[in-house]
Amino acid sequence: MGLEIMDDVRKDSVRNRISEGYREGDREFREYREISIERDVAMKAEGSARVKIGNTDVLVGVKLDLGEPFSDSPAVGVIITNAELVPLASPEFESGPPNENSIQLARVVDRGIRGSETVDLEKLCIVEGEKVWIMFIDIHVLDNGGNLVDAAALGAITALQNARVPNERYGLTGDDTLSVRDTPLAVTMVEIEGNILVDPDCNEENAATSRLTVISNADGSLSGLQKSGSDSMTEETILEMVEIGIEKAGEIREKFLKTPS
């Protein structure tokens, strides 16, 4: 509470530097921090990946459990995406049930996977109307250095690409391959002092008053958008951000992801 002044000072400092064309760590405005991906980091998961973008550190695990389909869609499996902002990851996170930030994070990542129809849900059906795979995509944030959503989306698609169907553990036979048909990637941008910045760190997130996440697919189409934050945006800014988002996603895709077969 007594530190609110410090918070303002920090915001102003970020804004001033940005308006002088300077960004922490000498980054370009449209440059990501260093990205690294570690695969299969959680052997109890069907698939997993740990993604670091700068100081941001996110672990995503994919688990498949047996369950019943929804009554209005008896022939397809179920995806449940969940995010935990555990207090280990940031002085601002608190223990407790999911809040609007963790819910939004999970739902935006989920939206990209659904919108792109990345997972073939029909292949997750075992017995129509009775038994399907419930796929849990769990986003576990370890260090919040800003831009969680891009790290989580990249972690989710990487974990999916490495996941196997655990037929054996459940006494089932069949192909263990999970059908992963697209590579939706999130690219988040903020606008500070009239400049569009890609991949904001946490100081930039605080200094910016609004943010746009653009999720795009291998073919350059969009499979999700989410504006957040307390300020408005012009049509032009949004169109430009969509352009940049698709381009940046392409670069990351090329560098880090397998091409879906």
Partner 1 sequence: MKKGEEIEFIKDGKRVDGRTFDELRNIKIEVGVLERADGSCYLELGDNKVIAAVYGPREMHPRHAQDAKMAVIKFRYNMAPFSVDDRKRPGPDRRSVEISKVSREAFEPVIMREYYPKAAIEVYVEILQSDAGTRTAGINAASVALADAGIPMKDLVSSIAVGKVGGEVVLDLNAVEDNYGEADMPIAMIARKNMITALQMDGRLTKDEFGRGLKLAMNACHQIYELQRTALIERYNKRESVKFEEREA
Q: In the complex, which residues of this chain contact partner 1 (CB under 8 A)?
A: 1, 4, 41-45, 48, 55, 57, 59, 61-63, 65, 75, 82, 84, 86-91, 95, 97-100, 103-104, 106-107, 111, 114-117, 136, 138, 140, 142-145, 169, 210, 212, 217, 220-235, 238-239, 242-243, 246
Nearest to 208 by CA among 226, 232, 234, 225: 232
Nearest to 131 by CA among 66, 64, 80: 66
Q: Using the minimum distance from each CB to partner 1, give the nearer residue, 21 or 36.
A: 36
Q: Using the minimum distance from each CB to partner 1, give the nearer residue, 229 or 260.
A: 229
CB of 89 to partner 1, least distance (A): 6
CB of 98 to partner 1, least distance (A): 7
Nearest to 16 by CA among 5, 8, 28: 8
Q: Using the minimum distance from each CB to partner 1, give the nearer residue, 21 or 98.
A: 98
How many CB atoms within 10 Å of residue 47? 25
User: Who contacts 80 (Cβ-Cβ below 8 Å, separation ≥6)?
Assistant: 134, 135, 136, 137
C-alpha–C-alpha distance, residues 125 and 120, integer Å: 10
CB of 257 to partner 1, least distance (A): 18
- Which structure tokens are listed for 53? 């973008």
Q: Using the minimum distance from each CB to partner 1, give the nearer residue, 91 or 194.
A: 91
Residue for token pair 């990501």: 32
CB of 75 to partner 1, least distance (A): 8
Q: Using the minimum distance from each CB to partner 1, give the nearer residue, 212 or 252.
A: 212
